[in-house]
Chains A and B, each alone.
Chain A
């Protein structure tokens, strides 16, 4: 008779045992939790809420679509930098911008000469040239044994020179099939596909032993060498990956501007390095991830977008520049607080933090999307007075330029908004489930409970405002906008 009881109590007993051995497993899991993601996540949601409140058009099909189109080249350039930065030795590839420019101008010129037309040929060409350059880079670093930053400086100067020789001034035509890519009116575009595939590829890559070797080499090259990691091979591999990302970035960049532009080199180098650091990577090597880099690049886009909603007149680009520098320095200074936070919060989970903040941001988005009567008038005002043109001299702002939404886009927006927010909710739910599963083995499940409570409260608040639910909320919002 006592056996069923034992079995019945066995479950808590097992869980107690698990929690008793929790410190060990937590220590093991500690490597996975990355406190350096704290800053980009916080900044992301702050900027997102701010931008949505300033200009709700961001959360529309057109808004997100143009955001994807504009931000993707930067995101991919940041990935390209990340792959080599993780490899260590201070490999900050200053030449990534000119490399993107080089692939861009040669592609445009070859297309103009009638050589490159086929999509596969173009993409293959871009990736091949990127990988080839980075392969040479790796060979120089390995066999000539010069500091990588000097090699990249050399590449920067050489390629920004040769780009101007190949294409003296912006011009040329991108292939016809690419023309529709850069419109940015819908969320689902080939550019998004490239971005998703690229991110997925990196995430899959992190599951391999090669990635472990790469991180080991980045943190301590001598330790890697003595423990038998083939460091030359690993370094070449990292550079090849970086080159592929640079090629993809160049394709998205070409789609964005639909032409050739030789002078974007400095711009992309500087903003990609900035994005990388904002994303929590260490320029010294060994630390960096696709999630942080993505957030870093998107944060830069959001900064420019937010500033573009103000009308500063002729000093617009200067204000952008000022805000840009200040936010960069401030967010770097805030990373100094991380050790203090780490002292009190043992097991920081960036995923959970992201979920909690995204629920809050979702509330803000819903508020901006449905509650603002002024939102529509603000959108109309924006449509009537297009955003002030950005001085082309301030080149690093150029690629982040925002298009003014038209009336058709605004209408599309009100149709798509509930779908988007519904999707976001689904994503949040999925993420929450994931968190719940990963936290099931731990002692404390309190954060997950907090998330449930917050989500329920928010959903309840929403339901009270719109008793009809999601489907009926859309026409109401549409009426409000008319």
Chain B
């Protein structure tokens, strides 16, 4: 996570930084108690502020960039203006928007919103100044900054945002999205796309309940569903390997076919098209319901499953041969072919994994909702893609990893929870999601100018 040349600060500078951070945290804590927030909120917000500040301090001082507007010389001022034209205009715009909002909306100008603004500005300044010193993991850094900022702003502004219940539910929904995005991440690392994920989720959801309704033992039904999901992934892999570049549309086609086929099978002889009714076994409900418990601990096992998957994938892709070869194929398929890595094998394998995890998400969602519905995965069509992109995995292949996607999933989930908290509908959330993706990606994934590519 550290840049190649870590700036070494002198001891006084570190002490000053720590002191400033502590003072800032203390101000936040005092304000928290004055406002009468719960202790959890105050502590979490305090830790977040302190961590963000101290981390920022360590890196920002080493490559200290003159802050705009502090120099007196007119010549320097012009130079500063020329260098920081964009950020300054952006700063002015944000301040203007804030001013307009506080003049028009009653009660907008309170201490929490001012603090939120400061945190937002701090994030922007930090990402602009420090972010460029990260060569490798800039997106992860920005993602974590945004996550910390969002979380602290959320817990300051919204009652119960940092409560155990809300964190638990955020993690649960993040697990669904996270497990669904495993496949999308791996496939994106190879330079492909898998749009069949939502259809497989829906098909697994309906199919599992249908099998249970037929009298198949639930454990066997789950295994069958997972196996079929993997098989469909393999088919996807073979088809889209032959048709690279059109992977988007091939997987969409197989997705249509899968969803149609499963619905025909399940709705023959019933009057309810698209819906299947039946009883979900208790262990499956426990697996993903909000009040489920893991080995006696009060959180649903889905979160634990997601954590394990994430750990295995992050570590595995870093140290195993499979993981390294995966990156090799994604970066340059010609050279990976020269060192005798079978591209077909990796391509099919990743699509199979994608199918497996999509089926798994569908089964887990069945435990959560308790009823089969083919459209349950529809929102994951572009949300998995958004999580991958926001996390920082390049859709062109070879860059990124599952760790990034975890950050992306968390950012999306916390953002969505925050937007619900301030009382916005689903459609407004979607609107804001859309507006935020481009700036977030623009912070780290700008491609170089064409004249530098020749």
Instruction: Check if A92 sits within 8 Å of B242, measured CB to CB.
Output: no
Instruction: Check if A320 sits within 8 Å of B260, measured CB to CB.
Output: yes
In the complex, whether B446 has a CB less than 8 A from a CB of chain A is yes
Q: Kindly specify which of B71-79, B321-329, B356-364, B433-441 makes contact with the partner chain.
A: B433-441
Q: Kindly specify which of B26-34, B132-140, B264-272, B331-339 makes contact with the partner chain.
A: B264-272
Please indicate the chain A residues that have their CB under 8 angstroms from the CB of B248 in the complex: 92, 273, 283
A274 partner, pick from B249, B258, B453, beta carbons under 8 A = B249
Contacting residues of chain A (51-94) with chain B, CB-CB under 8 angstroms? 92, 94
Instruction: Check if B264 sits within 8 Å of A332, measured CB to CB.
Output: no
- Also in contact, A153 and B256, with CB within 8 A (given A92-B248, A158-B435, A222-B453): no
Instruction: Check if A332 sits within 8 Å of B249, measured CB to CB.
Output: yes
State the CA gap A147–B435 with chains docked (Å). 15
Instruction: Check if A145 sits within 8 Å of B395, measured CB to CB.
Output: no
Q: Kindly specify which of A10-18, A161-169, A452-460 makes contact with the partner chain.
A: A161-169
B454 to chain A, nearest CB (A): 5
B196 to chain A, nearest CB (A): 9
Instruction: Check if B256 sits within 8 Å of A328, measured CB to CB.
Output: yes
State the CA gap A284–B243 with chains docked (Å). 12
Contacting residues of chain B (238-289) with chain A, CB-CB under 8 angstroms? 239, 242-243, 245-246, 248-250, 252-261, 263-264, 267-268, 271, 273-274
**Interface 1/0 per residue, B427-452 and A, CB below 8 Å:** 11111111101100110011111110
Instruction: Check if B450 sits within 8 Å of A225, measured CB to CB.
Output: yes
Instruction: Check if A321 sits within 8 Å of B249, measured CB to CB.
Output: no
Instruction: Check if A162 sits within 8 Å of B427, measured CB to CB.
Output: yes
Please indicate the chain B residues that have their CB under 8 angstroms from the CB of A144 in the complex: 438, 442, 446
Instruction: Check if B264 sits within 8 Å of A319, measured CB to CB.
Output: yes
B351 to chain A, nearest CB (A): 14
State the CA gap A266–B381 with chains docked (Å). 10
Instruction: Check if B273 sits within 8 Å of A332, measured CB to CB.
Output: no
Contacting residues of chain A (405-435) with chain B, CB-CB under 8 angstroms? none
In the complex, whether A461 has a CB less than 8 A from a CB of chain B is no
Name the residue of chain A whose CB is nearest to the CB of B258.
A325
In the complex, whether B385 has a CB less than 8 A from a CB of chain A is yes
Please indicate the chain A residues that have their CB under 8 angstroms from the CB of B253 in the complex: 274, 324-326, 328-329, 332
- Also in contact, A318 and B434, with CB within 8 A (given A274-B249, A282-B245, A329-B239): no
Size range of the interface on A? 35 or more
B189 to chain A, nearest CB (A): 15
State the CA gap A329–B382 with chains docked (Å). 21
In the complex, whether B389 has a CB less than 8 A from a CB of chain A is yes
In the complex, whether A261 has a CB less than 8 A from a CB of chain B is no
Instruction: Check if A332 sits within 8 Å of B250, measured CB to CB.
Output: yes
Please indicate the chain B residues that have their CB under 8 angstroms from the CB of A391 in the complex: 273-274
In the complex, whether A203 has a CB less than 8 A from a CB of chain B is no
- Also in contact, A161 and B273, with CB within 8 A (given A156-B382, A324-B256): no
Instruction: Check if A157 sits within 8 Å of B259, measured CB to CB.
Output: no
In the complex, whether A317 has a CB less than 8 A from a CB of chain B is yes
Name the residue of chain A whose CB is nearest to the CB of B389.
A150
By the criterion of a CB under 8 Å from any partner CB, how many residues of chain B are at the interface? 57
In the complex, whether B375 has a CB less than 8 A from a CB of chain A is yes
In the complex, whether A200 has a CB less than 8 A from a CB of chain B is no
In the complex, whether B406 has a CB less than 8 A from a CB of chain A is no
Name the residue of chain B whose CB is nearest to the CB of A314.
B273
In the complex, whether B153 has a CB less than 8 A from a CB of chain A is no
B73 to chain A, nearest CB (A): 31
Please indicate the chain B residues that have their CB under 8 angstroms from the CB of A162 in the complex: 427, 431
Instruction: Check if A151 sits within 8 Å of B438, measured CB to CB.
Output: yes
In the complex, whether B386 has a CB less than 8 A from a CB of chain A is yes
B440 to chain A, nearest CB (A): 9
State the CA gap A326–B252 with chains docked (Å). 10
In the complex, whether A180 has a CB less than 8 A from a CB of chain B is no
In the complex, whether A437 has a CB less than 8 A from a CB of chain B is no
In the complex, whether A473 has a CB less than 8 A from a CB of chain B is no
A290 to chain B, nearest CB (A): 19
State the CA gap A102–B388 with chains docked (Å). 26
Please indicate the chain B residues that have their CB under 8 angstroms from the CB of A153 in the complex: 382, 385-386, 389, 434, 437
Instruction: Check if A283 sits within 8 Å of B246, measured CB to CB.
Output: yes
In the complex, whether A160 has a CB less than 8 A from a CB of chain B is yes
Name the residue of chain A whose CB is nearest to the CB of B266.
A318
State the CA gap A328–B240 with chains docked (Å). 12
State the CA gap A56–B52 with chains docked (Å). 71
**Interface 1/0 per residue, A306-332 and B, CB below 8 Å:** 000000001101111111111011001
A-B contacts, 23 listed (Cβ < 8 Å)? A94-B382, A144-B446, A145-B447, A150-B441, A151-B438, A153-B385, A153-B389, A155-B434, A157-B433, A158-B433, A160-B430, A164-B426, A164-B430, A165-B425, A225-B450, A273-B248, A274-B253, A315-B264, A315-B268, A321-B260, A322-B257, A329-B254, A336-B242
Show the binding face of A for B, using Cβ within 8 Å.
92, 94, 140, 144-147, 149-151, 153-165, 221-222, 225-226, 231, 266, 270, 273-274, 277, 282-284, 314-315, 317-326, 328-329, 332-333, 335-336, 391, 393
Show the binding face of B for A, using Cβ within 8 Å.
239, 242-243, 245-246, 248-250, 252-261, 263-264, 267-268, 271, 273-274, 375, 381-382, 385-386, 389, 395-396, 425-435, 437-438, 441-442, 445-451, 453-454
Q: A94-B382, A325-B256 are in contact. List 20 more A-B contacts (CB 8 A).
A: A140-B438, A146-B438, A147-B395, A150-B445, A151-B438, A153-B437, A154-B434, A157-B431, A164-B426, A273-B249, A273-B252, A283-B248, A283-B249, A314-B273, A315-B268, A318-B260, A326-B253, A328-B253, A328-B256, A332-B246
